[in-house]
Amino acid sequence: MRILVTGGAGFIGSNFIRYMLGRYPDYQIINLDKLTYAGNLDNCKDYESNPNYTFVQGDIADEKVVDESAQKVDVIINFAAETHVDRSNNESAPFLQTNIIGVKTLMEAALKHNHERFFQISTDEVYGDIMEGHFSEESVLKPSNPYSASKAAAEMLAMAYHRTHKLPVVISRCSNNYGPYQYPEKIVPFFIKKLMNGEKVPVYGDGANVRDWLHVDDHSRAIDLILHKGKIGEVYNISANEEHSNLDITKRILNILGYLEDRIEFVKDRPGHDVRYAIDASKIRNELGWEPSVKFEMGFEEVVNWYKNNFI
């Protein structure tokens, strides 16, 4: 299989490429990444010399660059996205450009070159928050901020292309990922970096907001299954059902690194802050046989220590 992975120098994309090159040594992968602030070629350093791997710097909204790479592959898996909620609240234009126009550009190329699949990597944030229970793939999308709204819009556009143009679309919606190589604007590496710089960690509100956590390697395995066995035109939730409050995550980081809770600083809450994310992943478990393999307690400690030892 020949795969175009967009956003492959970012956190989840670079880990996915590493996983795929290890599991499928005959697959060819092109990594198309704009190398914004969150993209880092050091994330790909251990496989940059692999003969089946090629890096191309470019914007997914650039038709010429996308077409040059798309004509060489059979499948596009789109990880490329602006993702940080705070940044989207302050300036939404880059999110609309990359997360919607960029997706449209990729899909046009996939149609032109008759690709076998267009795989849109999405997020549980498109559902908005839920106080009790879990969202299924059939739940109504109610995004709460410009970032999640742009991801929901991209999904709707993809499904419209599937219905109207018969584009072979699949979509996954995943819970919060943790793992190595994440840019330190997200809570785990961000807090570790602050602690190691002697600073306090800023927790929004009272820290009660709940997120569902999944190791990035388990996410990669889920994407692999959906790529090879998932049904065209379907959406798959990916979750390990590991719900933890932001305050709990903060305290875990402090405990693992040996800091006291006086390093916590409660700050004004984010506007429109989602209270709880929770998704039902029974579809991918029952239909494709996926199960998470990394136990949260062990996996989280390993990841915190990875950042400690690979401080950036």
Which residues does the annotation mark as catalytic? 124-125, 147
Quick one: which of 44, 75, 47, 46 has its CA closest to 57?
44
Per-position b or e across 113-141, b if 16+ CB within 10 A of its CB = bebebbbbbbbbbbbbbbeeebbebebeb
Q: What is the Cα–Cα distance from 69 to 66, expressed in whole angstroms?
A: 5
Chain position carrying tokens 């700050």: 267
Quick one: which of 45, 262, 237 has its CA closest to 125?
237
209: three-class secondary structure by DSSP: coil
132: three-class secondary structure by DSSP: coil
Residue 177's beta-bridge partner residues?
214
CA distances from 130 to 121, 152, 213, 253 (A): 21, 17, 16, 26
Both tokens of 257, joined, read 């690194």
Q: Are 247 and 206 in contact (CB under 8 A)?
A: yes
- The residue type at 54: T
203: three-class secondary structure by DSSP: strand
